[in-house]
């Protein structure tokens, strides 16, 4: 306890040096926390875009569907399956779909595109599809109409009220054809989605493809992102080999690779920042030892044990680190929380690039507990490593040389 008190007094003997070191740790904690928070918020937003625009967190398919994408690889969502999904407390929403390709024709124009059968209310709860209706209206449960992406409508020269002819292959070789009045035009923030395809009700899709009661997928959302993989493993055990259970990243590996690649770059940037923090503290410790070399020699000469003196210097370095880390934490928490609720909007070419990737043009921040805890532990760990230098320096101190310093 006496060594601790002595260390606290010693660090304030040279206030300027101490404050400079504390400031380097303080700003290091804030910058690394902001960087981690921005990464966390950006990744979460990318995942939310993937999930909310289309895929959901988890999808249930026929075992062969994802490879074949064939209308023949359908399944019936039995009561037993529905009960198993509903009984899982982490499953928040269950959305059935029927998806396939169709030739779409109007007048002399013909285009191929995705045809998706949906339950309008459930789909809107997942993807907020209704908010992207630029013209016309959204589908109702008993609707015979079709809503389509804006670029596809332009390519076919289709307007609201026009009747679209669809031709495709039905279930097990049946011929699929039908006429659908255009009741709505969709315009998404992502150009890729604007070329995507068309939506009809699930009942009309089943009738069109001659596949009563069947679906191509059951799209699931969960209460929390951390539950995605536990839910996947639970469902795989419950459903066995009769169904395929896939998570969003298995269905969209490109987005996952983008996130992993960006994480690697972030680790390099934070590594450089941590090195700068470490050298800042280390240089202070070196100056502290050099300036007090004679003083330390005198203290050992009059009878103070080297181990006790080494402890004092060790505590001095630790205390400087604690003050810097705690002050940085105290400022970074409200700052990050403010940034979480006030994303930074982007404009100009950068905003256009974000929109091309289907992302909202803004920089988002995350407030996961590990964003703060990881930075505190890492920066404090650096301080502990640096504090080993004065400890070893004192243990090797030669009194005669120190007294002549």
**pLDDT value of residue 382:** 85
Written as six digits, the tokens of 105 are 């024709």
pLDDT in tens, 237-262: 988 888 999 998 888 877 777 777 77
Asked whether residue 21 falls in the same domain as residue 71, the answer is: no
- Which range marks the domain in which residue 33 is found? 2-50+256-403
Asked whether residue 226 falls in the same domain as residue 157, the answer is: yes
Asked whether residue 323 falls in the same domain as residue 374, the answer is: yes
Q: Are 300 and 400 in contact (CB under 8 A)?
A: no
Asked whether residue 92 falls in the same domain as residue 221, the answer is: yes
Output the pTM of the full model: 0.71
Query: Which of 132, 137, 125, 130 minimizes the C-alpha distance to 96?
Result: 125
In a domain, 131, yes or no: yes
In a domain, 56, yes or no: no
In a domain, 262, yes or no: yes
Q: Which of 242, 275, 302 is the last residue of a domain?
A: 242
Instruction: Quote the percentage of the chain above a pLDDT of 90.
Output: 26
Q: Which of 216, 242, 268 is the last residue of a domain?
A: 242
Q: Which of 207, 242, 277 is the last residue of a domain?
A: 242
Q: Which residue is it, tokens 């920042």?
A: 273
Asked whether residue 105 falls in the same domain as residue 191, the answer is: yes
pLDDT in tens, 333-352: 899 889 888 888 877 777 77
For the chain, helix (H) and strand (E) counts, in that order, are: 16, 12
In a domain, 57, yes or no: no
Asked whether residue 211 falls in the same domain as residue 145, the answer is: yes
Number of domains in the chain: 2
In a domain, 251, yes or no: no
Asked whether residue 114 falls in the same domain as residue 173, the answer is: yes
Neighbours of 222 (CB within 10 A): 22
Of the given ranges (167-176, 207-216, 251-260), which has the lowest mean pLDDT? Answer: 251-260
138 confidence band (pLDDT: 50, 70, 90) = very high
In a domain, 268, yes or no: yes
Q: Is the pLDDT of residue 179 over 90?
A: yes
Asked whether residue 10 falls in the same domain as residue 97, the answer is: no
**pLDDT value of residue 264:** 78
Asked whether residue 193 falls in the same domain as residue 290, the answer is: no
CA distances from residue 224 to 68, 79, 89, 295, 397 in whole angstroms, order as listed: 31, 25, 11, 58, 56
Asked whether residue 27 falls in the same domain as residue 79, the answer is: no
**pLDDT value of residue 146:** 95
Asked whether residue 80 falls in the same domain as residue 193, the answer is: yes
Q: Is the pLDDT of residue 148 over 70?
A: yes
Asked whether residue 387 falls in the same domain as residue 311, the answer is: yes
**pLDDT value of residue 98:** 94
Q: Is the pLDDT of residue 288 over 80?
A: no
- Say which residue, 397 or 20, is predicted with more confidence: 20
> What is the C-alpha to C-alpha distance for residues 203 and 395, in angstroms, rounded to an integer?
82
In a domain, 55, yes or no: no
In a domain, 126, yes or no: yes
């Amino acid at each position: 306890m006496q060594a601790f008190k002595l260390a606290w007094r010693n660090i304030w003997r040279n206030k300027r040096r101490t404050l400079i070191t504390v400031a380097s740790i303080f700003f290091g904690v804030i910058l690394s926390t902001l960087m981690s928070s921005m990464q966390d918020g950006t990744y979460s937003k990318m995942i939310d875009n993937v999930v909310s625009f289309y895929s959901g967190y988890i999808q249930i398919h026929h075992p062969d569907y994802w490879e074949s994408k064939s209308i023949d690889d359908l399944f019936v969502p039995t009561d037993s399956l529905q009960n198993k999904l509903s009984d899982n407390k982490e499953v928040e929403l269950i959305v059935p779909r029927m998806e396939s390709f169709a030739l779409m024709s109007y007048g002399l124009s013909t285009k191929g595109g995705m045809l998706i059968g949906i339950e309008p209310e459930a789909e809107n709860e997942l993807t907020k599809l209704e908010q992207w209706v630029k013209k016309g209206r959204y589908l109702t449960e008993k609707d015979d109409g079709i809503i389509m992406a804006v670029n596809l409508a332009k390519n076919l020269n289709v307007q609201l009220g026009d009747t679209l002819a669809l031709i495709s292959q039905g279930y097990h070789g049946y011929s699929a054809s039908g006429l659908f009045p255009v009741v709505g035009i969709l315009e998404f923030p992502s150009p890729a989605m604007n070329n995507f395809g068309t939506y009809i009700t699930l009942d009309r899709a089943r009738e069109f493809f001659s596949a009563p009661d069947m679906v191509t997928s059951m799209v699931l959302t969960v209460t929390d992102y951390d539950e995605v993989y536990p839910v996947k493993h639970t469902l795989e055990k419950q459903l066995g080999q009769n169904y395929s259970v896939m998570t969003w990243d298995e269905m969209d590996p490109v987005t996952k690779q983008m996130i992993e690649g960006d994480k690697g770059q972030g680790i390099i940037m934070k590594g450089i920042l941590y090195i700068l923090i470490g050298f800042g503290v280390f240089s202070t410790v070196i100056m502290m030892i050099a300036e007090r070399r004679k003083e330390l020699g005198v203290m050992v000469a009059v009878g103070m044990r080297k181990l006790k003196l080494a402890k004092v210097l060790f505590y001095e370095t630790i205390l400087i680190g604690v003050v810097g880390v705690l002050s940085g934490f105290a400022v970074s928490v409200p700052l990050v929380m403010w940034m979480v609720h006030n994303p930074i909007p982007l404009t100009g070419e950068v905003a256009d690039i974000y929109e091309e990737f289907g992302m909202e043009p803004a920089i988002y921040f995350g407030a996961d507990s590990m964003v703060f805890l990881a930075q505190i532990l890492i920066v404090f760990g650096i301080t502990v490593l640096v504090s080993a230098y004065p400890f070893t320096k004192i243990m090797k101190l030669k009194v005669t040389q120190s007294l002549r310093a």
